[in-house]
Amino acid sequence: MSGAPDGPAGVLPVSAYEVRVAEHPGDREACFAVRKDVFVGEQGVPEDIEYDAYDPGALHVLAVREDGLPLGTGRLLEGEAAAAKVGGDPAVGSLGRLAVTRAARGLGVGAALVRAIEAAARARGLAAVDLHAQTHALGFYERLGYVAYGPEFADAGMPHRAMRKAL
């Protein structure tokens, strides 16, 4: 998937970017670097809980600018790894760790990452994708077709809601 917007004044221009599965050398490290900047650096999530036992088996996606600068990342869990997060339904994947660098926000990178994760979930035969959204991001996910369910809960000290989208 590609995008070609230029950023608003004062934001790093993003003339072109691609979203790909993190398979190339260095892609996983780039994913983790974006997560560290956003979750650990900006949001104060303790580093020891940002990276977990699910990372090695997860499908990671990465958005990179044409010059190689990482712009965003996200991951998909499926099967047993997703079961605890999605109520045990093996047909539902778990989208998580979606992060976009400050300079690339508002340029469509987050939506492109979500679409790439959904495409990977469809390719794996999943019927739906769940996620745990920070409450300030509910509108973003709603615009992409996700529906909130269940009560608000805390994760890493921040309020979240569970959301689901049928594929």
Mean pLDDT of 63-74: 95
Report the mean per-residue pLDDT for the chain: 90
The Cα 60–Cα 57 span in angstroms is: 9
Strand segments, DSSP code E, in the chain are 2-3, 17-21, 59-65, 70-77, 92-100, 128-134, 147-155, 158-166
pLDDT at 7: 42
Q: What's the confidence (pLDDT) of residue 14?
A: 55
For position 25, what pLDDT does the model report? 81
Quote the tokens at residue 163.
């959301």
Top-confidence residue, 1 or 51: 51
Q: How confident is the model at residue 15 (pLDDT cuts 50, 70, 90)?
A: low
Model's pTM, two decimal places? 0.89
Q: Which residues contact 13 (CB under 8 A, 6 or more apart)?
A: 6, 7
Q: State the average pLDDT over residues 45-60.
A: 93
Integer Cα distance of 18 and 58 in angstroms? 20
Q: What is the pLDDT of residue 13?
A: 55
Nearest Cα to Cα of residue 63 among 127, 93, 108, 13: 108
First to last CA, the chain: 18
pLDDT in tens, 70-120: 999 999 999 989 988 888 899 999 999 999 999 999 999 999 999 999 999
Q: What is the DSSP string of 106-119?
A: TTTHHHHHHHHHHH
Whether the per-residue pLDDT at 156 is higher than 90: the answer is no
What pLDDT, on the 0 to 100 scale, is given for residue 87? Answer: 85
